[in-house]
């Protein structure tokens, strides 16, 4: 098998091929490391590569296969780890010069579980400084570029993770999502990203939780791969007191379920957002696919207020609480946009922060009736396709101009407020060949419904065989 073909195999198929001795773990790791060596200099998805330790672990994994040892569900399967997650003995920078030389002494729970299941870490993927924005660029490593068009962003803050998966540099990637950071890059890069229910995947030690906004989850090419990864990383761990109890749910079988009996609402704009016409066209086509699958689909009538300003207040105060004291020493070595956000957060009054927290709860009261009526809500994942890599904001969307910008991520952060499960699914392509992402939002704790719908859509409108030219 050609090395590039191994790079684009699904994790499910890689695991099966290793168990059946059709591929060795070392063959797989070597193939993907070769792909990384070829492609990463142009894409900049990986910021740290641990080739020597990956090959060492692959040889150990092969010995375990040969001697007939009991194999974990991800035995020999390569995985990348976002550079916001602690990795024992491997540099973890958070995309910041402040932590350029940090080497943790322990693993994040997700990393620990992946490795216990047999996965082999290839390296760390790029992220904006502390994951603060929706595109991936930092003063340490520079921008991550979109494999579909190297002049465009890969999204953020899990941009390195999504770009790596899209470009055949590993089937599995870890992401984290405090306001869209799994779904935004998955949308831009044409891969599948799942933000599980809040607490479904335990977090830490290491990077902070960000006021119950942060979720850890998988970024993969296929829904089945994400389901397989969820079987490993989901479940209670008392090191994270907010982690949810185990439910006994098997995620992988959900990839074979149909949508009969499901009631689905959809909205192109949440009632207020400016959206690129090509994105709306992709969503509309996706609605037709769901109708063809037997779901009861209708346009949802929403009575909700924009949440962008509320999110901005909570986000800025959260960063200020963590990093304001570092400005004196590190200001000139931090992203200027991050510094400006921290400065804004320092000036927010306690009463204004309390009002933002109240507005967050009011959003739940407004959106809850929608999920009493519908099992799922469909929206765009992002308001625009991937934009130019030298820009950090979008000045115009669908003829609507902002002062100074308009909100190009209005669909993701509301469901960090509520903690609901949500996925980004590739649902089409622009005239320039850029991916368009569909967001599927489930009821509280209904990760199963989101995966079931995502997999059914994938079977009807598959995307994984389409590859970028990089």
Which own/partner pairs from 340-347 qualify as long-range (CB within 8 Å, at least 24 positions apart)? Answer: 341/132, 341/315, 341/316, 342/316, 344/316, 344/320, 345/315, 345/316, 345/317, 345/318, 345/319, 345/320, 345/321, 346/320
Angle subtended at Cα 294 by Cα 292 and Cα 300, rounded to the nearest 5 degrees:
85
Catalytic residue among 181, 214, 424, 454: 181
Token readout for 274 is 């400016």
Helical H runs in 80-218? 109-116, 159-166, 183-189
**Helix-strand-coil split of the chain, %, nearest 5:** 40, 15, 40
CA distances from 397 to 275, 296, 329, 338 (A): 6, 31, 38, 24
Q: Can you say how many angstroms the Cα of residue 462 is from the centroid of all Cα atoms in its chain? A: 19
Residue pointed to by tokens 């920078």: 93
In angstroms, rounded to a whole number, what is the distance separating the alpha carbons of residues 321 and 235? 29
Does the active-site annotation cover 82? yes
Q: Can you tell me the distance from the alpha carbon of 393 to that of 408, in angstroms, rounded to the nearest whole number?
A: 8
Which residue in 10, 96, 157, 454 is the catalytic one?
157
DSSP 186-218: HHHHT-EEEEPPTTTS---SBS--TTTT-EEEE
Q: Cα 244–222–160 angle (5° rounding)?
A: 80
Q: Which residues contact 208 (CB under 8 A, 6 or more apart)?
A: 214, 322
Pair 230, 447: CB distance under 8 Å: yes
Name the region of 33 (left: φ>0; alpha: ψ -120 to 50; beta: rest).
alpha
Contacts of 426 (CB under 8 A, 6+ apart): 187, 190, 191, 192, 435, 436, 437, 438, 463
List 82, 197, 243, 454, catalytic entry: 82
Annotation says 96 is catalytic: no
Is residue 322 flagged as an active site residue? no
Catalytic residues: 82, 157, 181
């Amino acid at each position: 098998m050609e090395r590039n073909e191994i790079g684009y195999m699904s994790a499910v198929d890689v695991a099966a091929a290793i168990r059946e001795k059709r591929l060795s773990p070392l063959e797989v790791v070597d193939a993907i490391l070769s792909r990384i060596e070829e492609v990463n200099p142009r894409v900049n998805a990986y910021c740290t590569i641990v080739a020597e330790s990956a090959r060492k672990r692959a040889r150990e994994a092969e010995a375990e296969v040969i001697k007939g040892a009991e194999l974990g569900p991800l035995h020999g399967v390569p995985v990348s780890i976002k550079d916001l997650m602690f990795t024992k003995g491997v540099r973890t920078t958070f995309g910041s010069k402040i932590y350029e030389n940090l080497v943790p002494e322990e693993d994040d729970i997700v990393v620990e579980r992946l490795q216990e299941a047999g996965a082999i870490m290839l390296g760390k993927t790029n992220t904006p400084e502390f994951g603060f924005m929706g595109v991936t660029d930092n003063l340490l490593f520079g921008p991550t570029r979109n494999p579909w068009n190297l002049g465009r962003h890969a999204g953020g803050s899990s941009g390195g993770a999504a770009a790596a998966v899209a470009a055949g540099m590993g089937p599995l990637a870890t992401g984290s999502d405090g306001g869209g950071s799994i779904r935004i890059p998955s949308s831009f890069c044409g891969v599948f990203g799942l933000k599980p229910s809040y607490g479904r995947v335990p977090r830490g030690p290491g990077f902070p939780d960000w006021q119950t906004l942060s979720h850890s989850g998988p970024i993969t090419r296929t829904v089945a791969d994400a389901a397989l990864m969820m079987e490993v990383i989901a479940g209670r761990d008392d090191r994270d007191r907010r982690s949810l109890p185990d439910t006994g749910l098997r995620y992988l079988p959900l990839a074979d379920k149909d949508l009969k009996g499901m009631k689905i609402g959809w909205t192109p704009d949440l009632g207020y957002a400016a959206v690129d016409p090509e994105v709306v066209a992709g969503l509309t086509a996706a609605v037709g696919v769901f109708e063809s699958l037997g779901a009861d689909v209708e346009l949802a009538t929403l009575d909700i207020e924009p949440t962008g300003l509320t999110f901005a207040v909570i986000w800025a105060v959260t960063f200020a609480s963590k990093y304001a004291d570092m400005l004196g020493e590190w200001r000139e070595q931090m992203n200027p946009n991050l510094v400006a956000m921290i400065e804004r957060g320092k000036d927010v009054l306690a009463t204004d922060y309390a009002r933002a927290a109240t507005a967050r709860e009011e959003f739940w009261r407004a959106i809850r009736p929608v999920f009493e009526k519908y099992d799922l809500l469909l929206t765009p994942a992002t308001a625009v396709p991937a934009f130019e890599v030298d820009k950090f904001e979008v000045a115009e969307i669908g003829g609507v101009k902002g002062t100074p910008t308009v909100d190009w991520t209005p669909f993701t952060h509301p469901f960090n407020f509520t903690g609901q499960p949500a996925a980004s699914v590739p649902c089409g392509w622009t005239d320039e060949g850029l991916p368009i992402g569909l967001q599927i939002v489930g009821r509280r704790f209904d990760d199963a419904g989101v995966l079931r719908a995502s997999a059914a859509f994938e079977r009807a409108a598959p995307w994984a065989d389409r590859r970028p030219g990089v």
